[in-house]
Amino acid sequence: MTDATEAAATARTPLIVTGANGQVGRELLRLAPHARGYRRHELDIRDPDAVRAALEPGATVLNCAAYTAVDAAETDAAAAFAGNGTGPEVLAAACALAGARLVHLSTDYVFSGTRSASGDTVPYDTTDAPGPVTVYGRSKLAGEQAVLASTARAHVVRTAWVYSVGGADFVSTMLRLERERDTVDVVADQVGSPTFAADLAAGLLELVERPEAPRLLHATNAGQASWYELARAVFAAVGADPERVRPVDTAAFPRPARRPAYSVLSNRSWAEARLTPLREWQVALHAALARAGAGAGAATGD
């Protein structure tokens, strides 16, 4: 669907976007300018009274609010579970009470991400049992379970490796490092599905118009890549030499929270629901860079 089509398709549905200042939240408001957006300081989704006051019957809430500090969560589990577990539970309860619908965004971190280590590289499906190995992943799973156990008309949509260009996401970081460094070391033993926030937002707005869709879905751009392959693709797209990107393993960048080695999500559920598949990640990346004015030649001003 085009941006104009998406906006027109959802114009008759009152939309509320929580986490409106995040990557996906901003894209949702761009595609659906009639939606009412709430940033974190404007609506605390953990506050039942505040949430009930923000809802209206017949509305659809697109919940992009989350605690996303993956490493900090390892030592601040209470904050992670409050934002990612309690918040969605409060939203779901309020939606059920108000007769509103909820679309809740979740993550690949609800899986262990160990499949590549065992030689099994089949993408994770909605039918696979979760097995988070980080506090962040466990908190996001708690939120999923609360939403799905509620009586609200709700969907949980898992996604992964989201970027938007122009912030602190991985693609934006690679663009900055291309300008600042001769070479860049990037992890080559973690594989996932890079997902353009604009494509994901368009998919979520299509889901708003499909209340009969399954309650649990996966949505990412098609295909898979390592962080190293994604970084090389970014360099090549802006006319830089991709050989300046050097592969390293995860051990080169020790972090408090363990990163999934393989967290590709199967989009089978999305396709079977007859929702429009998100395009190949390479195509989406070029579109994202072009929109940001970071295409070939932009790095040198050519």
Catalytic residues: 136
**Segments of the chain assigned E as strands:** 15-18, 36-38, 60-63, 101-107, 153-159, 162-163, 184-187, 191-192, 195-196, 216-218, 225-226, 245-248
Angle between helices 281-291 and 227-237 (to 10 degrees): 40
Angle between helices 23-31 and 197-208 (to 10 degrees): 60
Q: Tell me whether residue 251 is exposed, middle or buried, using C-beta atoms within 10 angstroms of its C-beta: 0 to 12, 13 to 18, 19 or more.
A: exposed
User: Could you tell me which residues are beta bridge partners of residue 155?
Assistant: 103
Percent of residues in the chain assigned helix, strand, coil, to nearest 5: 40, 15, 40
User: Could you tell me which residues are beta bridge partners of residue 226?
Assistant: 191
* Residue 105: both structure tokens together: 């965004």
